[in-house]
Amino acid sequence: MAESLYSPPQDIADRRGTALIAGVVGLVLCVIGFVFDREHFFRAYLIAYLFWLSIPLGSLALMMVHHQSGGAWGMVIRRIFEAATRTLPAMALLFLPIVLGMKYLYPWTHADHVAHDAVLQHKALYLNVPFFLVRALIYFACWIGVSTALNTWSRRQDEGDLGATRRMQVFSGAGILLYGLTVTFASVDWVMSINPHWFSTMFGFLTMGGHGLAALAFAIVVATVLWRREPMHDVFNAGHFHDLGKLMLAFVMLWAYFNFSQYLIIYSGNLVEEIPYYVNRTTHGWQYVALLLVVFHFAAPFALLLSRDLKRSANRLVLVAIAILVMRLVDFFFLVSPDFMPDGVNMHLVPPPQPGEAPHASHFFVHWLDLAAPLAIGGIWVWSFLAQLVQRPLLPVRDPHLADAL
């Protein structure tokens, strides 16, 4: 059988064990943090959760783009995308700590605070706990539903269903629209509403660009690991990695474009509701994080990925992909943490300054939970991902376009 030729490597079970150990260690540290420092725990957990969730959501989007457009780049990593999307039920369960910590994260969950804030009173019809939870259920239902449908048809394609290819292609068109709509609202709910006075029409696009970049960088890392052993060593070639490198370059530029567009719009508008977002992120030490992102999330990978030789070398391309994943985590840290004081309290919950006093500002800080939370969620997620990866052949052997892709 052709399926047996592309069975996952036997050492994946060992890698699952390593991931689980890392996750357990991270969980123990997070429990300690929860007991002794809940403000920092929930903030760090939200950052880590957003980062790891971006990989399966970005994989879902890129998988649908591939079903719509075709191409060898997506065919050889389609199983990686599919395995990542099948972890979404686990991510739905991991969302529960955020529900439990809403009062530590979101000012609009405090009735006494809303009562003295005219802006929050106007937004209360949308920003309230019951509706927030209903929307979260809708988001996960949509994401899991789309993923389940595409993965089911992919399995049926492996079983010889000739119509499955067409169904995946047609369904992906509507799925991409649903993804864009739900991710935009989720980014508003889970990130933007940390500072409920601030708003940006670019934020949903920025989030989607980051999802695609994280998923592609992760797929390159996994593809490189698989390329170093059978049976995929003879499947992946320099042309495949070259295509993935070009696509990653495109997403690096897209992420930079969306970020610069948001900054330019807010800078030119110079409105009191918008500019504190960037004032907080370009002062009191946060400007160095912003500079770090400019250099290592855009400038350096952009310059490196212009090299054709680098993109055709898996061993070199994977280093850029790993660096981008690290910068994606830093980017989520930059999106969330400047809205919190060094003691972990949301700065928008602090009473406004008295006349003559300086406005509140968050000074740069890093807490040990900022490392423990990504380790905990990441270990569990990678363990779940590898469990899904071994369930199917590493290539869609009955796809009618596979021969051309190889």
Q: What is the pLDDT of residues 237-285, one digit of tens each?
A: 899 999 999 999 999 999 999 999 999 999 999 988 889 899 999 999 9
Task: Specify the pLDDT at position 38.
Answer: 95
d(C-alpha 91, C-alpha 99), whole Å: 13
**Residues 363-392, mean pLDDT to the nearest whole number:** 96
Q: Say how many CA atoms lie within 13 Å of 248 toward its Cβ.
A: 37
* In the chain, domain spans: 11-346+362-400
Q: Which residues of 229-268 are buried (b: 16+ CB within 10 A; e: fewer)?
A: eebbeebbeeebbbbbbebbbebbebbbebbeebbeebee
The sign of the dihedral angle between the CA atoms of 379, 382, 386, 388 is positive
Task: Specify the pLDDT at position 362.
Answer: 84
pLDDT band at residue 4 under the 50/70/90 scheme:
low
Amino acid at 360: H
pLDDT band at residue 355 under the 50/70/90 scheme:
low
| Contacts of 122-130 spanning 24+ positions with Cβ under 8 A | 123/196, 127/193, 127/196, 129/102
| Cβ neighbours of residue 369 closer than 8 Å, sequence gap 6 or more | 29, 30, 33, 37, 40, 41, 43, 44, 45
Task: Specify the pLDDT at position 358.
Answer: 62
What φ, ψ does residue 346 adopt, rounded to 5°?
-60, 125
pLDDT band at residue 354 under the 50/70/90 scheme:
low
Least confident among 188-192, 205-209, 232-236: 232-236
CB 363 within 8 A of CB 342: yes
Share of the chain above pLDDT 70, in %: 97
Least confident among 87-91, 133-137, 360-364: 360-364
Task: Specify the pLDDT at position 359.
Answer: 66
Kindly tell me the number of DSSP H helices and DSSP E strands found in the chain: 21, 0
**Residues 32-54, mean pLDDT to the nearest whole number:** 97
- Each residue of 290-314: pLDDT tens digit? 999 999 999 999 999 999 999 999 9
- Each residue of 157-202: pLDDT tens digit? 988 888 998 999 999 999 999 999 999 999 999 999 999 999 999 9
The answer, yes or no, to whether residue 356 has pLDDT greater than 80, is no
d(C-alpha 234, C-alpha 284), whole Å: 52
Whole-model pTM? 0.95
